[in-house]
Amino acid sequence: MHITQHTDYALRVLIYLASNEQRLVTIQEISERFEISRSHLMKVVNQLIRNGFVEGLRGKGGGLRLARPPQQIAVGDVVRRMETDLALVECFHETSRCLLTSTCQLKGVLGAALEAFFASLDKVALSEVLGPSQRALLHVLKRAP
Amino acid sequence: MHITQHTDYALRVLIYLASNEQRLVTIQEISERFEISRSHLMKVVNQLIRNGFVEGLRGKGGGLRLARPPQQIAVGDVVRRMETDLALVECFHETSRCLLTSTCQLKGVLGAALEAFFASLDKVALSEVLGPSQRALLHVLKRAP
DNA sequence: TAAAAGAGTCAATCTAAATGAATCTTTTGG
DNA sequence: CCAAAAGATTCATTTAGATTGACTCTTTTA
């Protein structure tokens, strides 16, 4: 059971942006910091923008910033939107060829468990997964004029 | 996010065995019923036996049967023991090279979500995922002498 | 004691994720 | 206005892990 690195990177990007809320951050910078290839990271960021978590400003002097304050970004939401395939097992698909599909209750049971998984993640905001020092920084920034 | 087919098959095997509690079932039979290669299925069954869910009786006239009544087999337990790698993201590993690992709270948050996932599955017994007709059969069998 | 049944090993295959090169498009500072 | 900075898109390659199946044991009992 895994979450794709794509989603993993997305969370890292958001955490990084949250820790640098006061300025624009370029993909270049993030890719260097995390040692991830620029073009790969680009795709991750793209998806974050398309899903409304991040704002991307093009052109000279452009960069990235959170589209909403980190208190309003639920971790569960991010994972849900970044993971493209949430079909835990074959019988989640219409095309399932398992001969039990029609009668067995597994699909519902696993579906409920998946919901519990996301419900747990939904309770946590991006601002809460930052390290103590980063959170302190956030706090200071909020109090600044 | 996926569960391996290995685990998927394991659940199918258990369901099949639960629906045929009154007799021994051979791997051969299951592999034909589910159209899975015999040697592949063998590995799945092996793991089920090693984990104490199934009893395998060798030799002529042998076969498989549940090691415990299906009411005492939790779906969560099966998934937990069949899935070999439950490290959701890189930072679950000791060797994580993510520079956030030390400070960020993601690991704990995702870990808690995973627990919620399994807690949900633990509430369900194998006997509860059988189809209505199969469950009815179980019921009848229990009442028989 | 031979046949049935499970156990184990090994290598091939297949798939989806991950990667990265190359080429767009947009924007703005000078 | 236009060159440079920055994000957007496309495409092909690589890689890791899951899946598969052939082949060879070992155990057991009719």
User: Do A127 and B41 meet the contact criterion of CB atoms below 8 Å apart?
Assistant: no
pLDDT in tens, A53-67: 999 999 998 999 999
User: Structural domain boundaries of chain A?
Assistant: 5-85+125-143
pLDDT at A94: 82
* Protein CA at A57 to nucleotide C1' at D3, angstroms: 19
A63: helix, coil or strand? strand
DSSP assignment of B6-35: HHHHHHHHHHHHHTTTTS-B-HHHHHHHHT
Is residue B34 within 8 angstroms of chain A, CB to CB? Answer: yes
Amino acid at residue number B2: H
Structure letter (DSSP) for residue B72 = G
**pLDDT exceeds 90 at position A69:** yes
Among the residue ranges A59-63, A98-102, A126-130, B65-69, the one predicted with the least confidence is A98-102
The pLDDT confidence band at residue B101, using thresholds 50, 70 and 90, is confident
pLDDT at B97: 79
pTM: predicted TM-score of the whole model, two decimal places: 0.90
* CATH code linked to domain B5-85+125-143: 1.10.10.10
Whether nucleic acid strand D comes within 7 Å of the CB of A85, the answer is no
Average pLDDT value for residue range B65-88: 94
User: Do B86 and B114 meet the contact criterion of CB atoms below 8 Å apart?
Assistant: yes
